[in-house]
Amino acid sequence: MNAEQSLAPAAATSAASRKRRWGPHLWPYLFALPFVLAYAAFQLYPVVYSFVLSLHDWNGISEKTYIGFKNYVQLWTNDPLFIKSLWNTLIMMLMFIPLTLILGLVLAYWTFQLTRGKRLFQTINVLPYITTPVAIGFIFSYLFDWQTGLVNLLLTKFGWLQEGFYWLQDPWGSRAIIALMVIWRNLGYFMIIFMAGMTVIPQDVYEAAKMDGSTGLHTFRKITMPLLRNITVFLVVTSVIGGLQLFDEPKLLYGGWSGSAQVGGPDNTALTVIWKFVDESFISNTRFGYASSIAYSLFVIIVFFSILSYRLTAPKEDKR
Protein backbone atom coordinates (compact mmCIF):
# COMPACT_ATOMS: atom_id res chain seq x y z
CA MET A 1 0.00 0.00 0.00
CA ASN A 2 2.73 2.44 0.99
CA ALA A 3 4.69 1.84 -2.14
CA GLU A 4 1.63 2.58 -4.23
CA GLN A 5 0.92 5.82 -2.44
CA SER A 6 4.48 7.08 -2.70
CA LEU A 7 4.49 6.22 -6.36
CA ALA A 8 1.40 8.22 -7.21
CA PRO A 9 2.91 11.76 -7.01
CA ALA A 10 6.07 10.59 -8.75
CA ALA A 11 4.10 9.21 -11.65
CA ALA A 12 2.15 12.44 -12.02
CA THR A 13 5.24 14.59 -12.39
CA SER A 14 7.36 12.34 -14.57
CA ALA A 15 7.55 12.46 -18.36
CA ALA A 16 5.34 10.25 -20.51
CA SER A 17 8.29 8.23 -21.81
CA ARG A 18 9.51 7.53 -18.30
CA LYS A 19 6.03 6.51 -17.40
CA ARG A 20 6.03 4.02 -20.23
CA ARG A 21 9.47 2.76 -19.26
CA TRP A 22 8.56 2.21 -15.60
CA GLY A 23 4.87 1.56 -15.73
CA PRO A 24 4.35 -1.73 -17.48
CA HIS A 25 7.34 -3.33 -15.77
CA LEU A 26 6.37 -2.16 -12.35
CA TRP A 27 2.68 -2.94 -12.25
CA PRO A 28 2.90 -6.71 -11.77
CA TYR A 29 5.33 -6.27 -8.93
CA LEU A 30 3.14 -3.62 -7.37
CA PHE A 31 0.08 -5.79 -7.52
CA ALA A 32 1.96 -8.71 -6.08
CA LEU A 33 3.51 -6.60 -3.35
CA PRO A 34 0.71 -6.69 -0.77
CA PHE A 35 0.64 -10.45 -0.86
CA VAL A 36 4.43 -10.77 -0.89
CA LEU A 37 4.74 -8.42 2.06
CA ALA A 38 2.02 -10.16 4.03
CA TYR A 39 3.53 -13.52 3.15
CA ALA A 40 6.98 -12.41 4.21
CA ALA A 41 5.74 -10.97 7.48
CA PHE A 42 3.29 -13.65 8.52
CA GLN A 43 4.61 -16.78 6.83
CA LEU A 44 8.19 -16.57 5.70
CA TYR A 45 9.57 -14.75 8.72
CA PRO A 46 7.96 -17.11 11.29
CA VAL A 47 9.11 -20.10 9.27
CA VAL A 48 12.70 -18.90 9.19
CA TYR A 49 12.55 -17.66 12.77
CA SER A 50 11.24 -20.94 14.13
CA PHE A 51 14.11 -22.73 12.42
CA VAL A 52 16.55 -20.38 14.12
CA LEU A 53 14.66 -20.98 17.37
CA SER A 54 14.96 -24.74 16.96
CA LEU A 55 18.74 -24.36 17.24
CA HIS A 56 18.41 -22.68 20.61
CA ASP A 57 17.43 -23.49 24.14
CA TRP A 58 14.85 -20.90 25.16
CA ASN A 59 11.93 -20.66 27.58
CA GLY A 60 10.50 -17.55 25.93
CA ILE A 61 11.76 -15.17 28.57
CA SER A 62 15.39 -15.82 29.48
CA GLU A 63 18.35 -15.39 27.09
CA LYS A 64 18.47 -17.75 24.12
CA THR A 65 21.35 -20.23 24.18
CA TYR A 66 22.65 -21.54 20.86
CA ILE A 67 22.94 -25.31 21.00
CA GLY A 68 23.23 -26.32 17.34
CA PHE A 69 21.28 -29.40 16.35
CA LYS A 70 21.08 -30.81 19.87
CA ASN A 71 17.31 -30.40 19.98
CA TYR A 72 16.92 -32.52 16.86
CA VAL A 73 19.31 -35.18 18.14
CA GLN A 74 17.43 -35.34 21.43
CA LEU A 75 14.09 -35.44 19.64
CA TRP A 76 14.90 -38.26 17.25
CA THR A 77 17.17 -40.38 19.42
CA ASN A 78 16.08 -39.83 22.99
CA ASP A 79 12.43 -38.87 23.14
CA PRO A 80 10.23 -41.96 23.15
CA LEU A 81 7.13 -39.78 23.45
CA PHE A 82 7.84 -38.01 20.16
CA ILE A 83 8.27 -41.29 18.29
CA LYS A 84 5.12 -42.54 19.94
CA SER A 85 3.20 -39.41 19.00
CA LEU A 86 4.30 -39.78 15.38
CA TRP A 87 3.29 -43.40 15.38
CA ASN A 88 -0.11 -42.59 16.95
CA THR A 89 -0.75 -39.91 14.36
CA LEU A 90 0.04 -42.27 11.49
CA ILE A 91 -2.13 -45.03 12.94
CA MET A 92 -5.09 -42.70 13.35
CA MET A 93 -4.60 -41.36 9.82
CA LEU A 94 -4.69 -44.91 8.52
CA MET A 95 -7.92 -45.36 10.41
CA PHE A 96 -9.74 -42.31 9.12
CA ILE A 97 -8.39 -41.32 5.69
CA PRO A 98 -9.36 -44.45 3.70
CA LEU A 99 -12.69 -44.72 5.47
CA THR A 100 -13.60 -41.07 4.92
CA LEU A 101 -12.65 -41.36 1.26
CA ILE A 102 -14.77 -44.45 0.65
CA LEU A 103 -17.75 -43.27 2.68
CA GLY A 104 -17.52 -39.78 1.19
CA LEU A 105 -17.50 -41.16 -2.34
CA VAL A 106 -20.39 -43.53 -1.73
CA LEU A 107 -22.38 -40.83 0.01
CA ALA A 108 -21.66 -38.35 -2.78
CA TYR A 109 -22.65 -40.83 -5.48
CA TRP A 110 -25.85 -41.68 -3.69
CA THR A 111 -26.74 -38.05 -2.95
CA PHE A 112 -25.90 -37.07 -6.54
CA GLN A 113 -28.54 -39.47 -7.83
CA LEU A 114 -31.22 -38.18 -5.48
CA THR A 115 -34.05 -36.38 -7.18
CA ARG A 116 -35.80 -35.19 -4.05
CA GLY A 117 -34.36 -33.82 -0.81
CA LYS A 118 -30.88 -33.42 -2.27
CA ARG A 119 -30.32 -29.99 -0.75
CA LEU A 120 -31.54 -31.10 2.67
CA PHE A 121 -29.35 -34.17 2.63
CA GLN A 122 -26.30 -32.14 1.61
CA THR A 123 -26.90 -29.60 4.34
CA ILE A 124 -27.33 -32.24 7.03
CA ASN A 125 -24.11 -33.93 6.03
CA VAL A 126 -22.09 -30.74 6.02
CA LEU A 127 -23.34 -29.61 9.43
CA PRO A 128 -20.67 -31.49 11.41
CA TYR A 129 -17.98 -29.81 9.30
CA ILE A 130 -19.11 -26.36 10.42
CA THR A 131 -19.70 -27.37 14.06
CA THR A 132 -17.22 -25.88 16.53
CA PRO A 133 -14.57 -28.42 17.51
CA VAL A 134 -15.25 -27.72 21.19
CA ALA A 135 -18.83 -28.86 20.76
CA ILE A 136 -17.62 -31.98 18.99
CA GLY A 137 -15.30 -32.67 21.91
CA PHE A 138 -18.21 -32.30 24.31
CA ILE A 139 -20.54 -34.49 22.27
CA PHE A 140 -18.10 -37.35 21.95
CA SER A 141 -16.83 -37.30 25.50
CA TYR A 142 -20.44 -37.39 26.70
CA LEU A 143 -21.31 -40.17 24.30
CA PHE A 144 -18.38 -42.36 25.29
CA ASP A 145 -18.16 -41.56 28.98
CA TRP A 146 -17.44 -44.67 31.00
CA GLN A 147 -20.02 -44.18 33.73
CA THR A 148 -22.73 -42.07 32.16
CA GLY A 149 -22.12 -42.23 28.42
CA LEU A 150 -24.98 -42.91 26.06
CA VAL A 151 -23.11 -45.63 24.17
CA ASN A 152 -22.42 -47.62 27.31
CA LEU A 153 -25.96 -47.13 28.55
CA LEU A 154 -27.30 -48.61 25.33
CA LEU A 155 -24.81 -51.47 25.30
CA THR A 156 -25.64 -52.47 28.85
CA LYS A 157 -29.35 -51.93 28.41
CA PHE A 158 -29.49 -54.36 25.50
CA GLY A 159 -27.36 -56.79 27.44
CA TRP A 160 -24.41 -56.77 25.03
CA LEU A 161 -22.10 -55.76 27.84
CA GLN A 162 -22.21 -56.55 31.55
CA GLU A 163 -20.46 -53.37 32.56
CA GLY A 164 -19.77 -50.26 30.50
CA PHE A 165 -16.59 -50.30 28.44
CA TYR A 166 -13.98 -47.69 29.32
CA TRP A 167 -13.69 -46.32 25.78
CA LEU A 168 -11.64 -43.27 26.52
CA GLN A 169 -9.05 -45.14 28.55
CA ASP A 170 -8.48 -47.99 26.15
CA PRO A 171 -5.47 -47.63 23.82
CA TRP A 172 -7.40 -48.66 20.71
CA GLY A 173 -10.72 -47.35 21.93
CA SER A 174 -9.25 -43.87 22.27
CA ARG A 175 -7.77 -43.91 18.78
CA ALA A 176 -10.92 -45.33 17.26
CA ILE A 177 -13.05 -42.60 18.83
CA ILE A 178 -10.71 -39.90 17.59
CA ALA A 179 -10.82 -41.44 14.11
CA LEU A 180 -14.60 -41.52 14.38
CA MET A 181 -14.67 -37.83 15.33
CA VAL A 182 -12.54 -36.94 12.32
CA ILE A 183 -14.66 -39.07 9.98
CA TRP A 184 -17.88 -37.63 11.38
CA ARG A 185 -16.60 -34.10 10.94
CA ASN A 186 -15.02 -34.45 7.49
CA LEU A 187 -17.46 -36.75 5.77
CA GLY A 188 -19.71 -33.91 4.63
CA TYR A 189 -16.76 -31.98 3.27
CA PHE A 190 -15.48 -34.99 1.33
CA MET A 191 -18.98 -35.54 0.02
CA ILE A 192 -19.29 -31.97 -1.26
CA ILE A 193 -15.91 -32.10 -3.00
CA PHE A 194 -16.71 -35.42 -4.64
CA MET A 195 -20.08 -34.07 -5.74
CA ALA A 196 -18.41 -31.03 -7.25
CA GLY A 197 -16.21 -33.45 -9.18
CA MET A 198 -19.22 -35.42 -10.36
CA THR A 199 -20.91 -32.26 -11.60
CA VAL A 200 -18.10 -31.56 -14.06
CA ILE A 201 -18.11 -35.05 -15.57
CA PRO A 202 -19.85 -34.47 -18.96
CA GLN A 203 -23.19 -36.18 -19.26
CA ASP A 204 -22.40 -37.44 -22.79
CA VAL A 205 -19.76 -39.75 -21.34
CA TYR A 206 -22.48 -41.40 -19.29
CA GLU A 207 -24.81 -41.47 -22.28
CA ALA A 208 -22.15 -43.12 -24.42
CA ALA A 209 -21.53 -45.68 -21.70
CA LYS A 210 -25.22 -46.34 -21.47
CA MET A 211 -25.38 -46.90 -25.21
CA ASP A 212 -22.60 -49.44 -24.86
CA GLY A 213 -24.62 -51.29 -22.25
CA SER A 214 -22.85 -50.17 -19.08
CA THR A 215 -25.06 -49.79 -16.00
CA GLY A 216 -24.97 -49.18 -12.25
CA LEU A 217 -21.84 -50.40 -10.48
CA HIS A 218 -19.98 -50.88 -13.73
CA THR A 219 -20.51 -47.24 -14.73
CA PHE A 220 -19.49 -46.14 -11.26
CA ARG A 221 -16.26 -48.15 -11.36
CA LYS A 222 -15.29 -47.53 -14.96
CA ILE A 223 -16.54 -43.99 -15.56
CA THR A 224 -17.19 -42.11 -12.33
CA MET A 225 -14.22 -43.29 -10.28
CA PRO A 226 -11.49 -42.78 -12.92
CA LEU A 227 -12.86 -39.35 -13.79
CA LEU A 228 -12.79 -38.39 -10.12
CA ARG A 229 -9.14 -39.28 -9.87
CA ASN A 230 -7.88 -35.70 -9.63
CA ILE A 231 -10.42 -34.92 -6.94
CA THR A 232 -9.29 -37.99 -5.01
CA VAL A 233 -5.64 -36.97 -5.28
CA PHE A 234 -6.54 -33.55 -3.91
CA LEU A 235 -8.47 -35.06 -1.00
CA VAL A 236 -5.78 -37.59 -0.18
CA VAL A 237 -2.95 -35.09 -0.23
CA THR A 238 -4.83 -32.46 1.78
CA SER A 239 -6.08 -34.98 4.31
CA VAL A 240 -2.59 -36.40 4.75
CA ILE A 241 -1.35 -32.89 5.49
CA GLY A 242 -4.31 -32.21 7.78
CA GLY A 243 -4.03 -35.63 9.38
CA LEU A 244 -0.40 -35.12 10.35
CA GLN A 245 -1.51 -31.93 12.07
CA LEU A 246 -4.20 -33.75 14.05
CA PHE A 247 -4.79 -31.94 17.34
CA ASP A 248 -8.29 -30.55 17.94
CA GLU A 249 -10.11 -33.85 18.22
CA PRO A 250 -7.82 -35.65 20.70
CA LYS A 251 -7.22 -32.52 22.75
CA LEU A 252 -10.91 -31.76 23.08
CA LEU A 253 -11.88 -35.35 23.73
CA TYR A 254 -9.54 -35.41 26.69
CA GLY A 255 -10.94 -32.45 28.52
CA GLY A 256 -9.70 -29.50 26.50
CA TRP A 257 -12.81 -27.77 27.83
CA SER A 258 -12.36 -28.63 31.52
CA GLY A 259 -9.96 -27.80 34.30
CA SER A 260 -7.96 -30.99 34.51
CA ALA A 261 -6.90 -31.73 30.99
CA GLN A 262 -5.27 -35.07 30.47
CA VAL A 263 -2.38 -34.79 28.02
CA GLY A 264 -2.02 -37.62 25.56
CA GLY A 265 -4.93 -39.82 26.54
CA PRO A 266 -4.43 -43.22 28.17
CA ASP A 267 -0.73 -44.01 28.34
CA ASN A 268 -0.19 -41.40 25.60
CA THR A 269 -1.89 -43.49 22.95
CA ALA A 270 -3.80 -40.45 21.71
CA LEU A 271 -0.83 -38.09 21.80
CA THR A 272 -0.32 -36.58 18.36
CA VAL A 273 2.72 -34.70 17.09
CA ILE A 274 1.05 -31.31 17.41
CA TRP A 275 -0.20 -32.15 20.89
CA LYS A 276 3.34 -33.09 21.84
CA PHE A 277 4.47 -29.76 20.40
CA VAL A 278 1.88 -27.85 22.43
CA ASP A 279 2.74 -29.83 25.55
CA GLU A 280 6.46 -29.05 25.20
CA SER A 281 5.89 -25.35 24.63
CA PHE A 282 3.03 -24.56 26.98
CA ILE A 283 1.71 -27.37 29.17
CA SER A 284 4.36 -29.62 30.71
CA ASN A 285 7.33 -27.51 29.70
CA THR A 286 8.24 -24.12 28.33
CA ARG A 287 10.87 -25.25 25.85
CA PHE A 288 10.22 -23.07 22.82
CA GLY A 289 13.43 -24.15 21.06
CA TYR A 290 12.71 -27.83 21.49
CA ALA A 291 9.10 -27.35 20.41
CA SER A 292 10.33 -25.55 17.28
CA SER A 293 12.46 -28.56 16.44
CA ILE A 294 9.29 -30.68 16.67
CA ALA A 295 7.53 -28.26 14.34
CA TYR A 296 10.39 -28.42 11.86
CA SER A 297 10.61 -32.17 12.01
CA LEU A 298 6.90 -32.35 11.36
CA PHE A 299 7.31 -29.99 8.41
CA VAL A 300 9.84 -32.35 6.83
CA ILE A 301 7.59 -35.33 7.57
CA ILE A 302 4.63 -33.57 5.97
CA VAL A 303 6.63 -32.76 2.84
CA PHE A 304 7.72 -36.40 2.63
CA PHE A 305 4.24 -37.82 3.09
CA SER A 306 2.65 -35.29 0.73
CA ILE A 307 5.01 -36.30 -2.06
CA LEU A 308 4.54 -39.97 -1.22
CA SER A 309 0.75 -39.76 -1.20
CA TYR A 310 0.77 -37.76 -4.43
CA ARG A 311 3.01 -40.30 -6.13
CA LEU A 312 0.81 -43.15 -4.97
CA THR A 313 -2.48 -41.65 -6.06
CA ALA A 314 -1.82 -39.34 -9.02
CA PRO A 315 -2.38 -40.64 -12.57
CA LYS A 316 0.77 -41.87 -14.30
CA GLU A 317 1.09 -39.03 -16.79
CA ASP A 318 1.04 -36.46 -13.97
CA LYS A 319 3.66 -38.08 -11.84
CA ARG A 320 6.66 -36.18 -13.12
Partner 1 sequence: MTVVNPNDYLQKLQSGIASGSDVPDVILGESAYRGKLFDLGVLDNLEGAPYNFDKSSVLDFTVPYISNGKGEVIAVDQAITPAGFAYRRDLAKQYWGTDDPAELEKLISSWDDFIAKGKELKDKSGGKVLMMPGLGDAFIALKGQNFAPYVNGTEVDLTAKVKEPLNKLFEMRDAGILGKNELWTPAWSASMAKGEFMFYPMAPWGPKWHISANDPDGKGRWGLVKAPEGGFTRGGTAVGIYKDSKNKEAAWAFVQYAYLSDEGSAYNFKTFGNMTGSKSFYETHKDLIEAPGPYDEFFGGQNLAKYFMEKIVPDMKGEPQSKYDSVVDGVFNALYPLWTKDTSVTADAALQKFIAETKNKASDATVK
Residue 262 near partner 1 by CB under 8 A? yes
Q: Which range in 145-153, 180-188, 206-214, 300-308 contacts partner 1 by CB under 8 A? A: 145-153
Segment interacting with partner 1, rule: CB under 8 A, options 93-101, 129-137, 163-171, 214-222: 163-171
Q: How far is the CB of 59 from partner 1 (least distance, A)?
A: 7
Among 9, 24, 80, 159, binds partner 1 (CB under 8 A): 80
Q: How many residues does the chain have?
A: 320
> Count of residues binding partner 1 (CB under 8 A)?
39
Query: Applying CB under 8 A, does 146 fall inside the site for partner 1?
Result: yes
- 43 touching partner 1, by CB under 8 A: no
Which is nearer to partner 1, 60 or 226 (by Cβ)? 60
Least CB distance from residue 290 to partner 1, whole Å?
8
Verify binding: residue 145, partner 1, rule CB under 8 A.
yes
Told to check if 286 binds partner 1 by CB under 8 A, we report: yes
For position 169 contacting partner 1 by CB under 8 A, the verdict is yes
Residue 142 binding partner 1, by CB under 8 A? yes
Q: Which residues bind partner 1 (CB under 8 A)?
A: 59-62, 74, 78-81, 141-142, 145-148, 166, 168-170, 255, 258-268, 279, 281-286, 288
